[in-house]
Amino acid sequence: MTLSGKTLAEIVGGVLFLILLVGGGATAWFWNSFNGNGPLRDEKVLVIPKGSGVGAIADLLVKEGVIDNPLVFKIGVKFFSDDQPLHAGEFRFPTAASPRGAMQVLIEGKSVLHRITFAEGWTVREIFDVLQQSPLLDGPLPPPPAEGTLLPETYFFVRGDSRGALVERMKANMVETLANLWAKRDTEIGLETPEDAVILASIVEKETGLKDERARVAAVFHNRLKKGMSLQSDPTVIYAVTLGKAPLGRDLTYADLKLESPYNTYVVAGLPPAPIANPGEAALKAVLHPAKTKDLYFVADGTGGHAFAETLDGHNKNVAKWRKIQKQNKQAN
C-alpha cells in the first residue's frame, strides 16, 4: 500500500529548509547528510504500518536508529524520490544505511521473506495446526482439503500473506509435481492412476524416514500388490483408528489389526481408498521408480532402518532379531 501525501506545512517547511541551506551555504551538508552513512551498526528489520505518512516513517526510522535526522529524510523524499511511493510492509535496512538508502528500500518495496516448513508425511491436520499457529500469516484457514492434496516442503512468504493463499500454493504444487513425475514414471509399475501413486507414496512416507530406503520399501509394496498379497502396513491401521485427526498415542493392538476399515490393509486387499498423509516429492519418486528387488517383507532393524526379506522364513528371522532388540532396550530402561 502506498503512503499518504505530505501536508502543506511539511512542503512549506521543506522549501524553507532548502532555502536556508542554499542561503547559508549548507547545501553540501544536506547532500552529505542525505547520502552519507547512517547510524545503524547492524542491519535491522522493521515493519512499516499500512497508512503511514512520510513524517511517521521518518520518526520511526529515527526511533529505531536507522537515521538520525527526520527532516533530512523528509526533504530528501520530497525532492529525490521522483514521486515514487514508499511502501508499507516488513523491510530489512542494511548496516549504515543512508537516508537515501532507507528511502530506496521503501520505494523498491522488497518485503522480508519468511519460511515455513511442512514435514513430508504430515496429515492435513498437522499442516493446518502449523499454519494456524504462525503469527506472521493472516486470515482464517479454509476448509481442510482432502488428504494427500498438499505438497509438503519449505515455502517462502511475506508477513501478512493469507493462510488460504498458502494452502492454495501447496495444492497447486502437488498437482504440478505429481503430473511431472507421473509422466516420467517407470512404465512397469502396476499403478493405474496418479492418485494411486499418492496413496502408495503416503504409506511409504509413514513407513520410513530414511531417504535411501524409500525406493526399497516401495518395491515391497509393489511386489505384494502384484502377487495379490495384502500390504499389511501398520500406518494404515493407525489411520483407520484415528482418521488422521489426532496421534494414536499408544502401540497398536491385535484388535486394531482386525478393525473393519477400508484403510486397514491387514483386512482389505490392495490400496486404501485415499492417502493417509501428504507425501513429499521423494516418496512420490520412490513409488514411481521402485527398486528392482524381490523383497516382500521388512521390519525394523534397531538402527532406525529396516531389514528386508524375500521369504517369510527370512522375515521371521528378522522379526526375532527385532524382538530381541526390543527386549534388551526395555531391560536397559
Of 23-27, 110-114, 298-302, least confident by mean pLDDT is 23-27
Mean pLDDT computed over 310-333:
86
| Angstrom distance (rounded) from CA 44 to CA 92 | 6
Strands of the chain (E only): list them. Answer: 44-48, 89-93, 113-117, 154-158, 297-300, 306-309
111-170: per-residue pLDDT in tens? 999 999 999 999 999 999 999 999 999 999 999 999 999 999 999 999 999 999 999 999
**H helices of 208-290, where?**
214-227, 234-242, 254-257, 281-288
Which residues contact residue 228 at a Cβ distance below 8 angstroms, ignoring those fewer than 6 apart?
Answer: 269
| Angstrom distance (rounded) from CA 7 to CA 12 | 9
33-45: per-residue pLDDT in tens? 999 999 999 999 9
**pLDDT above 90 as % of the chain:** 81
Domain 8-108 has CATH 3.40.50.11140: no
For position 278, what pLDDT does the model report?
98
Tell me the pLDDT band of 3, cut-offs 50, 70 and 90. very low
| pTM (global) more than 0.85 | no
Domain-wise residue ranges, the chain: 8-108, 113-173, 186-332
- Main-chain dihedrals φ then ψ at residue 187, nearest 5 degrees: -70, -10
